[in-house]
Amino acid sequence: MSRIFRITRLRRLALLLSLLASFGSNAAAQQDRRLGSITYHLRMTRPVSHLFEVSIEVELGNDTAGNSIDFQMPKWSPGRYAIFDFAKNVQEVSARLACPAGLDCTFPNSPVRRLDDQTWRVDLGVHKLPEKRQILFFNYKVFGNDLSGTFSQLDSRHANFNGGSIFMYVVNHKPDPVKLTIDPPKGWRIINGRTDKSDQREWQFPNYDVLIDTPTEIAPDWTDDQFQVDGKTYHVVVHSFGDEGKKRDKLVSDIEKIVRAETAMWGPPEFDSYTFLIHFAADDHSGDGMEHLTSTQIIEPGALGEEGVYGSALDTVAHEFFHVWNVKRLRPVELGPWDFTRPLSTRGLWIAEGITNYYGHLMKRRAGVWDDAALLGRESQTITQIENAPGSHLMNAEDSSLSAPFLDDAPHAQQTNLDNTSISYYPKGELIGFMLDLIIRGRTDGKVALDDVMRRMYEEFYLKSPNSSYYLRGRGYTGEDFERVASEVSGLDLHEFFRLYVRDVTMLPYDEALRYFGLSLVREPARQPYNAGIGIDYQEKGSLTIGVVHPNSPAEEAGLQEDDEIISLGKKSISRENFLVSLARYKQGDRVPIAVKRDRKTIQTTLVLGAPERMEYRIEEKKDATPQEKALRAAWLKG
């Protein structure tokens, strides 16, 4: 299909969608519906100011008199579901009219009015427009100094941007094709997941949603290593702020192994090239991973050469690359196109993120980057995390997904009880995926696997469904769709599984699932059993402050509260460093005097240590596993 035809079709669809969107809204009804091209110009003339300079060039129709155009900053961006209100970093908003080259148009500056916390309106009403099309430039600056998968950073070293945090959309014109031009500082090179020639400074996108799906790196000194799998080109773009310890070659070759393992499950992806955009921030705090259609943005807080950083980077790679299919294309029905004026609500993040977490780990094993013990150890840690979380008894996987705007790195100005009441859909969904896979494999004697369910989902909803919107191929699925497909593909009635473990808080069926594979789950008290229900606030540096008191715990019985500063235990003064060790000297039933500071007063009370609160879980191989069980295990681990 030619580009011109595609744009015409999209334009018609855009018009239809904008008519639908404006129905019932007076403000929107006044919006100009016949805009021409929309082009984003991005400059960064003073990197140390952290100010991105954005100019949105909009070609106006010649019947815009009496109309206005609204520009809106998203409240959040796809992949991270907390509300961040990117508009708070916007400054110096202005607009002006200009003419196409060669024409003389004398128009005063257009008035810009702020409508609400995320919207700016340009009134065109006072101007009588000439026959020829007019060009409106809507200009602003936006501050960005966070290296992350959601925010943007401009400083003396680089520009790294995520479009949702710097680009406004034209209200009612999100479906329109857009163009981006970037004018980088001298000597800085630009790369993103849609770069197809060197020194590229212009990009075309089918719509705003794809524009902001294309995180971009601009710096003088990033590296680009490449490899090919199934005729597709993969770029490993690395920007290191610390020592790489000569590990980059191995990183690239392990990433290739992971790509081979994941494409072996799904088949060749539909893109021609894909970019891993990786930062080793070496600042001990910036860490993130974000999925996109043809790229991923990965930020590690350490330097590549440092202990533990390499493995963490590969973890993120395996997870984010799995998102190429699960979430970016095969997606819950609410995930695109998006309404950036309010938080997202979906029950499906345990599938989109949790099952991706499960496969991220499994794929490290299938790629040969991990051995069996590493995978089983990681899943054991996740079981320990979930089974010890008080929120596991209160929040199911769908509720957790719906709570994403509160959980996903959300800032809280108000005190919350989420530590006691919530669980994350990442580890909970990971365990549901893990159990679902083993139970399907076990009950079907290895004939069917979760792999088959995921492939069928991809085929049915992404590849074969008619497009449900301008945004992407196919349509999204509901939780009921996933349950139906899992049951159909496996030939099992999985309704009880979904009722108990997805929509309720019943403990997952570890014993049945592991038994098919000659594995068992060992449960024993954690090494420091008597933490007494106190969670230390590790943000509060310098003092030993209680961050959370677990419900029905010795700490709660003793009347302790969050924000109490612990000053002595067993009549001895105490610090953050020796708190757990000191507590571990006592045993069940001991009465331990504790003193805390609250409201400038010292309060003495007594902890009566109860039964060990925290348990540790470990998946072990059974000595008497049968050859059939071992064969089932090998098929699962090797894919």
**Residues interacting with Zn ion, by CB under 5 A?**
158, 160, 217, 219, 239, 353
User: Residue 424 Cβ, how far from Zn ion at the closest point, in Å?
Assistant: 11
User: Residue 360 Cβ, how far from Zn ion at the closest point, in Å?
Assistant: 8
User: Residue 356 Cβ, how far from Zn ion at the closest point, in Å?
Assistant: 5
Nearest CB to Zn ion, comparing residues 121 and 158: 158
User: Residue 279 Cβ, how far from Zn ion at the closest point, in Å?
Assistant: 5
List the beta strands (DSSP E) in 230-331: 232-240, 273-280, 288-291, 295-300
Nearest CB to Zn ion, comparing residues 358 and 462: 358
Nearest CB to Zn ion, comparing residues 278 and 453: 278
| CB-facing half-sphere around the CA of 511: CA atoms within 13 A | 3
| CA neighbor of 344 nearest in space, from 210, 142, 164 | 164
d(CA 72, CA 70) in angstroms, rounded, equals 6
For residue 573 the two structure tokens come to: 């003064």
Q: Where are the alpha helices (DSSP H) in 389-424?
A: 397-402, 404-407, 418-421
| CA neighbor of 553 nearest in space, from 417, 383, 420, 382 | 420
d(CA 453, CA 330) in angstroms, rounded, equals 12
Nearest CB to Zn ion, comparing residues 33 and 50: 50
Task: Kindly list the strands in the beta sheet with 288-291, ordered across the sheet, starting from the edge strand earlier in the chain.
Answer: 223-229, 232-240, 273-280, 295-300, 288-291
Nearest CB to Zn ion, comparing residues 142 and 317: 317
User: Residue 261 Cβ, how far from Zn ion at the closest point, in Å?
Assistant: 17
User: Residue 346 Cβ, how far from Zn ion at the closest point, in Å?
Assistant: 14
Specify the DSSP element, H or E, that contains 54.
Answer: strand 51-59
For residue 215 the two structure tokens come to: 């995180």
Nearest CB to Zn ion, comparing residues 322 and 470: 322
User: Residue 404 Cβ, how far from Zn ion at the closest point, in Å?
Assistant: 12
User: Residue 222 Cβ, how far from Zn ion at the closest point, in Å?
Assistant: 6
Nearest CB to Zn ion, comparing residues 239 and 550: 239
User: Residue 155 Cβ, how far from Zn ion at the closest point, in Å?
Assistant: 9
User: SS3 for 278?
Assistant: strand
Contact (Cβ atoms closer than 8 angstroms) between residue 565 and residue 595: no
Nearest CB to Zn ion, comparing residues 78 and 518: 78
Complete DSSP assignment for 532-583? TTEEE-TTSTTS-BEEEE-TTSHHHHTT--TTPEEEEETTEE--TTTHHHHH
Complete DSSP assignment for 446-459? TS--HHHHHHHHII
User: Residue 236 Cβ, how far from Zn ion at the closest point, in Å?
Assistant: 14
User: Residue 147 Cβ, how far from Zn ion at the closest point, in Å?
Assistant: 7
d(CA 298, CA 289) in angstroms, rounded, equals 4
Nearest CB to Zn ion, comparing residues 160 and 295: 160
Nearest CB to Zn ion, comparing residues 311 and 535: 311
User: Residue 316 Cβ, how far from Zn ion at the closest point, in Å?
Assistant: 9
Q: Tokens 């580009």 label which residue?
A: 3
Residues with Cβ within 8 Å of 110's Cβ and at least 6 positions away in sequence, in order, are: 95, 96, 97, 122, 123, 124, 127, 136
Complete DSSP assignment for 199-252? T--EEEESSHHHHTT--EEEESS-EEEEEEETTEEEEEEEEESS--TT-HHHHH
What are the backbone dihedrals phi and psi of residue 609, each rounded to the nearest 5 degrees, phi first?
A: -70, 125
Contact (Cβ atoms closer than 8 angstroms) between residue 629 and residue 521: no
Cβ-count burial of 607 within 10 angstroms (0-12 exposed, 13-18 middle, 19+ buried)? buried
Let me know the angle formed at the C-alpha of 399 by 396 and 404, rounded to the nearest 5 degrees: 125
User: SS3 for 334?
Assistant: coil
Nearest CB to Zn ion, comparing residues 39 and 356: 356
Task: Kindly list the strands in the beta sheet with 216-219, ordered across the sheet, starting from the edge strand earlier in the chain.
Answer: 153-154, 159-161, 216-219, 189-192
User: Residue 359 Cβ, how far from Zn ion at the closest point, in Å?
Assistant: 11
Nearest CB to Zn ion, comparing residues 163 and 554: 163
